């Protein structure tokens, strides 16, 4: 591996316990969809993208997507499983409030003993509105477009500006509230999904895909669902990743900086974590084989650092090859964890210097030569040196020996060697 951030020396001792089954699909074809989408679209969306986090009572919650991989379906209710024994067993249950039942919401502890999330709604079909001409951008991906929000119809602007959060307080429990989001300079990206036989031009507004980070008296959040004009008024050719900050416990959010951006490829699905040095660490996914400066550039995760609470960021560099939806976790014993996936497998890697160098990866599931699982993972610390990993595996077999899409968790303990 020619990755400058890769250290081949085994610097850590890793112990993986046996996986625990949370939920498993039927071996029969999964249910249909409101549109006559392709078989691949129906199969891909179900039983994927697991998320784990703590509920206010200390139990561990796990949810995952049952939606088609398209914005029109993202308001679908996701299943909820609860573990009261640190992930050893799981029980399906109901959401404690209907406002939490958007697609796999990620709940985070914030200040004052409160918990907070912004669930995913269903997307918006923009071709049903009198939209202006899209921004002229020849380099944008095929089937994608962009509109400056200021020029969009009132109904469209109001839909994007209507951001509803869910908050738990010790006195009142769960309640829905309006959140003030930063829309200054926002533009709207659109997707025409003819390959999946889904009609229309669609877009989606922000929701929380990852946990909120508490730093000092601020809440920090990595986002790419809201896209912004650049300082000169230009629009990105692809996607950029931004840092949003709240100083009032999540009631309003302002964009602080662009964390990672490229002129020729996307930087999306960002995750942030604070390392033991006090640096903010951001890892993003990039996609597509791209000819750039006369060379073929393969998709690869990238990492960037900030030493001033996200106001400025260094230039991103490649890290550990390709992975979707990378997740970061700083353990109290000094080990930083990175999980990621997609063929050839679901993997974890570790860093002892806050993300600047990384060990080899450990395979959680090896999918070399097989169809890939979704590759999306989620991390939750269990103690000083252990964490819970949630992931999917489409090659798990049921009691009859049939392969089924399956959601699993696995306890992993890691210590410096």
* Burial (CB count within 10 angstroms: exposed 0-12, middle 13-18, buried 19+), residue 332: exposed
State yes or no: pLDDT of 67 exceeds 90: no
Helix or strand or coil: residue 252? strand
172 sits in the region (left: phi over 0; alpha: psi -120 to 50; else beta) called alpha
pLDDT in tens, 200-226: 999 999 999 999 999 999 999 999 999
Q: What is the pLDDT of residue 1?
A: 33
CA 187/CA 150 separation, integer angstroms: 8
What is the reported pLDDT for 86?
Answer: 97
CB 180 within 8 A of CB 254: no
In the chain, where are the structural domains located? 12-416
Classify domain 12-416 at the CATH topology level.
Answer: Neuraminidase (2.120.10)
Burial (CB count within 10 angstroms: exposed 0-12, middle 13-18, buried 19+), residue 8: exposed
Residue 345's pLDDT is 82
Distance of CA 60 to the CA centre of its chain: 19
Predicted confidence (pLDDT) at residue 142 exceeds the cutoff of 70: no
Res 140: pLDDT: 57
Q: What is the DSSP letter of 120?
A: B
Predicted local distance difference test score (pLDDT) of residue 2: 35
Alpha-carbon distance of 291 to 273, in angstroms, equals 32
Q: Is 196 left (phi over 0), alpha (psi -120 to 50) or beta?
A: alpha
Mean pLDDT (the chain) is: 90
Q: Which residues are within 8 A (CB) of 58 and not within 5 positions of it... i.e. 6 or more apart?
A: none
Residues 259, 260, 261, 266, Cα dihedral to 10°: -130
Range with lowest mean pLDDT among 121-125, 136-140, 264-268, 345-349: 136-140
A 10 A CB-CB count for 146 gives 20
Mean of pLDDT values over 22-44: 76
Instruction: Average the pLDDT over 247-275 and give the result.
Output: 94
- The fraction of the chain above a pLDDT of 90, given in percent, is 66
Confidence band of 71 (pLDDT split at 50, 70, 90): confident
């Amino acid at each position: 591996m020619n990755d400058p951030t890769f250290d081949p020396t085994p610097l850590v001792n890793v112990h993986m316990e046996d996986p625990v089954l949370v939920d498993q699909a039927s071996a029969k074809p999964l249910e249909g969809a409101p549109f006559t989408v392709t078989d691949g679209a129906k199969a891909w969306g179900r039983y994927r993208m697991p998320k784990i986090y703590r509920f206010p009572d200390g139990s561990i919650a796990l949810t995952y997507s049952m939606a088609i991989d398209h914005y029109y379906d993202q308001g679908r209710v996701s299943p909820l499983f609860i573990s009261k024994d640190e992930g050893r067993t799981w029980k399906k249950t109901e959401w404690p409030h209907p406002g939490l039942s958007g697609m796999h919401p990620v709940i985070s502890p914030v200040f004052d003993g409160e918990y907070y999330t912004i669930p995913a709604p269903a997307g918006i079909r923009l071709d049903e509105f009198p939209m202006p001409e899209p921004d002229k951008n020849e380099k944008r991906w095929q089937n994608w477009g962009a509109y400056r929000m200021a020029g969009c119809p009132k109904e469209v602007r109001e839909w994007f500006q209507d951001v509803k959060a869910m908050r738990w307080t010790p006195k009142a429990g769960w309640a829905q509230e309006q959140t003030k989001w930063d829309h200054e300079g926002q533009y709207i990206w659109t997707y025409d999904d003819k390959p999946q036989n889904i009609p229309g031009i669609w877009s989606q507004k922000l929701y929380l895909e990852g946990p909120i980070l508490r730093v000092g008296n601020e809440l920090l959040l990595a986002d790419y669902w809201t896209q912004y004009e650049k300082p000169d008024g230009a629009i990105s050719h692809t996607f950029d990743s931004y840092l949003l900050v709240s100083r009032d416990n999540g009631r309003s959010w302002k964009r602080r900086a662009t964390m990672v951006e490229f002129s020729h490829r996307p930087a999306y699905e960002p995750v942030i974590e604070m390392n033991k040095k006090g640096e903010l660490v951001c890892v993003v996914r990039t996609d597509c084989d791209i000819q750039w400066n006369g060379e073929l550039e393969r998709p690869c995760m990238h990492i960037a650092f900030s030493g001033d609470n996200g106001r400025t960021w260094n230039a991103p560099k490649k890290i550990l090859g390709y992975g979707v939806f990378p997740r970061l976790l700083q353990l109290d014993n000094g080990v930083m964890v990175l999980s990621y996936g997609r063929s050839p497998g679901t993997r974890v890697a570790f860093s002892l210097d806050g993300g600047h160098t990384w060990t080899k990866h450990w395979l959680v599931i090896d999918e070399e030569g097989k169809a890939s699982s979704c590759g999306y993972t989620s991390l939750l610390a269990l103690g000083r040196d252990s964490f819970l990993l949630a992931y999917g595996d489409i090659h798990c077999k049921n009691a009859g020996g049939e392969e089924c899409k399956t959601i699993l968790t696995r306890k992993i303990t890691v210590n410096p060697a």
